[in-house]
Amino acid sequence: MTPILNRLLLGGALSLGAVLLGSGLPGAGLAQSAPTAPHHAPTSTSPHPATQLGTAVPPVQLAAPHVRADQTVSMSAPYTPSATLTDDYRCFLIDPQVTQDRFLEGFEVIPGNTGVVHHVIVNQVTPEQATQARTLDGRDGQPGWPCFGGTGLNGATSTRRPDTGQLLSAVPKLQAAGVDVPKLLTALKDAGGNPLRAVTLYGEAGGDTARLIAALTDSGLMGNAARDGAHGDAGDVIAQAVGDVFGVGSWVPGAEATVFPTGTGRKISRGNLLVMQVHYNTLAGREPDVTRMHLQYAPPGAQRTPLRGLSLVAPVEIPCPAGAGGDLCTRDASLAQNARQDGPRATRLVEGVLALCGQTRATYAKQRADAATSSCDRIVPQDAQAVGVTLHMHTLGTSGTVTLNPGTPREQVLLDIPEWNFHWQGFYWYEQPIVLRRGDVLRVTCTWDNTLSEQPKYVVWGEGTQDEMCLAGLTITGQP
């Protein structure tokens, strides 16, 4: 699911659908023959996704709300997925004709062809980006434009690289936050300006990369607030890494209509347009699709508490089952195949998530194919309230959790899905907000079973349906 690892840390370009979500056009793309299960849409008799939850999860909303369709937007014409790509990412420009700032109170994404639609993410873009989008739209004779790994538009996300003066002026704050400044400066020097390598070197030297990221963010040296208010702290940084899983709205198999908690909303800025990214899994078919979206607005001029996203990711390193053969059962071969399809960034995103989590390949050297697991911690950058939570994996996932302050007397389970089902992914809204304090630790953990694949390969983080992800997101408001 999701655009990924386009830019990470200190403004460096990386090249998930990623660490969750970035920009760039797809590579040549190779069709794959491995089968996959079709994506089934929910029906009136299907269980609510919350039936997956473990008993320790705080109470969540158990009924899908009704969304008032103040406006319905859609692709302008049917799109027929690619005949050569297994995973076809396509973007479509939509003008909601917003002439003044408005707050979105709810939405419902309605895929036109649930058999092939893997996910939908809707983001807003500036008029300048929309101008660029219009030059891409229809260039290849089909509606929209290819957008593997994001919208493919310049400036869709913003990151800045601190100069030496900024770093030196921030040294006292970094030291007070527990950053080993000499190690950081050495890592930056040895990395030759490569930010991804710098983070990796800092971690390899014994530095705490999660604390480093939090400190750089708190010092104003990493990331800028997104214009739509969806991100504004390290969330902006991780959004560069994994993509914007929040955006204006989204859909995954099993997702239902969403009405945000009373008094909150997502801001649509005056003059901005929408880009609807649709991921088609063509192993399930190539029939035409027209996806649409209902939007529920607050009254004109009404103010709402802005919602933001806090994204969590963990590496994916899943070996082939014992005794399994095949050309793709080595990590290098699997990475090479992904690179042929998505270019060098396919490898960089895998290594980037490891670096973000302060881990290396050796961390997962003794994984079992039938019970591979991964986890990663993130420090909460500021006081907040969590009002919702979600988790995303692909078809090999078996379980996943999000835990607050794990291993301490204040430990609290925020999400527990003991039996993951790809076809029943939900965004869960808490009945009562969860208080997050600056310095708290959030941990996401995922487990997979690679024996579920009919054609096993060494599985790494990637945007393809046959790749995997470990991606969670909290929807938060500001100060509690």
Q: Give this prediction's pTM.
A: 0.76
**206 lies in the same domain as 321:** no
User: Per the domain annotation, does 447 fall within a domain?
Assistant: yes
Residue 157 Cα distances to 17, 47, 224, 238, 239, angstroms: 14, 37, 9, 11, 8
Q: Which helix (H) or strand (E) holds 447?
A: strand 441-448
| 126 within a domain of the structure (yes/no) | no
State how far the Cα of 428 lies from the Cα of 430, in Å rounded to an integer.
7
Question: Does 78 map to a domain?
Answer: no
Contact 153, 133 (CB under 8 A): yes
Report the C-alpha gap between 254 and 242 in whole angstroms: 21
Sign of CA dihedral 221, 471, 411, 388: positive
Instruction: Judge contact between 19 and 242, C-beta under 8 A.
Output: yes
Domain of 392, CATH number, reads 2.60.120.230
Q: Are residues 336 and 455 in the same domain?
A: yes
Domain-located, residue 55? no
Per the listing, tokens 């039936």 go with: 51
Distance CA 434, CA 301 (A): 29
Do 454 and 333 lie in one domain? The reply is yes
Q: Give the C-alpha distances (Å, rounded to integers) separating 38 from 48, 113, 290, 409, 461.
A: 19, 11, 18, 43, 21
Write out the residue range of the structural domain in which residue 173 sits: 164-218
Q: Is residue 149 part of a domain?
A: no
pLDDT in tens, 280-336: 988 888 999 999 999 999 999 999 999 988 889 999 999 999 888 888 999 999 999
Confidence tier at 48 by pLDDT (50, 70, 90): confident
Per-residue pLDDT, averaged over 160-181, amounts to 71
Structure tokens at 443: 């941990």
**Of 175, 193, 218, which closes a domain?**
218
- Counting the structural domains of the chain, the total is 2
Phi (first) and psi of residue 46, to 5 degrees:
-80, 155
- Residue 332 shares a structural domain with residue 457: yes
Domain boundary among 218, 233, 256: 218
- 323 and 190 in a common domain: no
Q: 250 by DSSP, 3-state: which?
A: strand
Q: Please indicate, yes or no, if residue 444 is contained in any of the structural domains.
A: yes
Instruction: Say whether both 456 and 325 belong to one domain.
Output: yes
Q: pLDDT tens across 363-396, in order? A: 999 999 999 999 999 989 889 999 999 999 999 9
As a residue count, the chain comes to 480
Alpha helices in 343-448 (DSSP H): 345-356
Q: pLDDT for 237-275, tens place per residue?
A: 344 444 445 578 888 888 889 999 999 999 999 999 999
46 domain residue, yes or no: no
Residues sharing a CB contact under 8 Å with residue 112, sequence separation 6 or more, in sequence order: 75, 78, 288, 289, 290, 291, 292
At 434-465, the pLDDT tens digits run 999 999 999 999 999 999 988 889 999 987 77
φ, ψ of residue 92 in degrees (nearest 5): -135, 130
Q: How confident is the model at residue 207 (pLDDT cuts 50, 70, 90)?
A: confident
The three-class DSSP label of residue 11 is coil
